[in-house]
Amino acid sequence: MDAQTLKKLREWFKKNAAELPWRPADLDAPRDPYAVWISETMLQQTQVSTVRDYFIRWMKRFPNIETLAKASEEEVFRYWQGLGYYSRARNILKTAKQLVSDCHDPCKGSRNDKRGERKAALPSTRKELEALPGIGAYTAGAILSLAYHQREAILDGNLVRIFSRLYALDFLPTESRDAAEIYWNYAREVVDSPKAYMHNEALMELGRTVCKVKNPDCINCPLRSSCCAALENRTTEFPPSKKHIQKDWHGTVLVIESADHKILAVHGGQKFFKNQFTLPHFESPRNATAGLPAQAEHYIDADKVQSVENIGKFRHSITVHKMECYVLYIRLNGKAPAPTSSEIMWVKRGQAQDFFASSFCLKALSFLEKT
Ligand code: SF4
C-alpha cells in the first residue's frame, strides 16, 4: 500500500473510529498492553457489540494482571460466561499467574511502577509473547502494535478479506505456506511506515464496518481507488470460498545471463512474487516458447541476445496453482546493462542460489547448472 493510500486510511480512521471501551479518545496514545490483550482475546470469534459489556465488567473486576492472577478459575469463568470458548479464559488466567510469578523472578521480565515496585507486565517481544499460553501470532502482533507501537504486522479475518479484495488474491492464507507468506507480506507492507499502529487498527475497523463480508460499502471506502476487486466490480469473488479448486498454470521462466555472468532479477509486475526479486516469468502456452519471447524484450534489447535455449521444464505448486514451467535460457553477448529502474537487478551467477529465496526460482536455476 503506498504512502498516499495509507494517508487516506488514517484520515478515514480519525473521522470514523468508533468509541470503544478499550480504545482511548487519543488514537495516537499507546494502549495499556493488558487491556489490548483482554479485548483482542475476547474479540476472537465474538462480535464487538457483544464484547463491549463483557470487557467493561472484566476490567472493573480485574483491572490488572495482579488482580486477575489472584482470582479462581470459577470466578474467571463467571466473567467469561456467554463468550464461549472457555479455553481462552483458562489461558488468560494461566498467563496472568505466570507473569506474576515471573515478576518475582529477578531474571525474568517485569516493570517497576511509579513507587519503584516490581509489577507483572506483558513482554514486548513477539517471541516472549507467543510463548505464553493462548497468545498466538495475531494477539502478539496486536499487543506489540497497539500497545507498544512497534511496527508489527497483524493478520486477522478482516485484513485477509481486505487484502484479498485489494490485490485480487484468489486464494486464502490457510491454503499453503506460500499463500500465507503473500498475505503476511502485504500485512508487513502496511506497517513499514510511521504510525503503523494506526494502520493496523484502521484496517481492522474498515473490515468490520466498510469492507464487510457481504455488501462492502466501496463508495465510502478510503482504499477504493487502489482496490482491484472494486475497480473491476468483482467484490463478490474475493476472498474465495474455502473449497477452492486447484488451477493449472502453464508458464515460462526466463534465466537471462549476461556475458559477465550475471543473472537478471526483477521486482514487481510478476504474477506470484509481487514483493520480492524473482526470475522473470509469464503465462505461456502449454508447449515451450520458441525463439525470444516478446515479454523478454521488456527487460533486454533483442539485438544483444546471443542465444535462446529451452533448458528444461519443472512442476511447482504455489497457492492454488499447479504450475508447469518451461525454463528459457537467454544468453547476452555483452555485459549486464546498467539497470534502468529499481525493479531490475543483475545478480552474479555464483550468488544466485543465495539471492533467490523461493524454491520456484531455485528449481529454474538448477537447469542452469546442467548447461
Ligand atoms: S473498495 Fe470495497 S472491496 Fe475494496 S477494500 Fe474498500 S470496501 Fe473493500
pLDDT band at 246 (very low <50, low <70, confident <90, very high): low
Q: What is the DSSP letter of 264?
A: E
**289, 326 in Cβ contact below 8 A?**
yes
What domains sit in the chain, N to C, each tagged with a CATH number?
Answer: 3-231 (1.10.340.30), 247-369 (3.90.79.10)
User: Is 40 noted as a catalytic residue in this protein?
Assistant: yes
pLDDT band at 283 (very low <50, low <70, confident <90, very high): confident
pLDDT digits (tens, 9 = 90+) for 127-170: 999 999 999 999 999 999 999 999 999 999 999 999 999 999 98
Distance between CA atoms of residues 210 and 158, nearest Å: 10
- Distance between Cα 230 and ligand 1 center (Å): 6
What percentage of the chain carries pLDDT values higher than 70?
91
Give, for ligand 1, the residue of 186, 203, 210 to mutate: max count of ligand atoms closer than 8 Å to Cβ: 210
Is pLDDT of 107 > 70? no
- C-alpha dist (Å) from residue 63 to 9, 71, 82: 32, 12, 20
Three-class SS state of 326: strand
The burial class, CB within 10 Å (0-12 / 13-18 / 19+), for 18 is: exposed
State the CB neighbour count (10 A cutoff) for residue 193. 15
Provide the grid cell at 117: 515496585
Give, for ligand 1, the residue of 218, 220, 231, 238 to mutate: max count of ligand atoms closer than 8 Å to Cβ: 218
For ligand 1, whether the C-beta of 162 sits within 6 Å is yes
pLDDT digits (tens, 9 = 90+) for 44-101: 878 899 999 999 999 999 999 999 999 999 999 999 988 888 889 999 999 999 999 9
pTM over 0.85: no
